[in-house]
Structure 1
Amino acid sequence: MPLVVKTKKQSSKVKVSDREKASGGVGGGVTRAVARTIPGPSGNMERAQAGGISAGQAAAMALQNISERGEKLSATVDATENLRNSAMNLSQRTGKLVEKLEKKKWYNF
Structure 2
Amino acid sequence: MGVGHAIRIIREHYKMDQRTFSYTVGISQTSLCLLETGKTIPKDATIEQIAVAFNTDAALIKLAGVGLQLANQKSFNRAFPNFNEIVFSMIFKEANNVF
Q: What TM-score, normalized to structure 1? A: 0.24
TM-score normalised by L of structure 2: 0.26
Which structure has more relative contact order (CA 8 Å, sep 6+)? It is 2
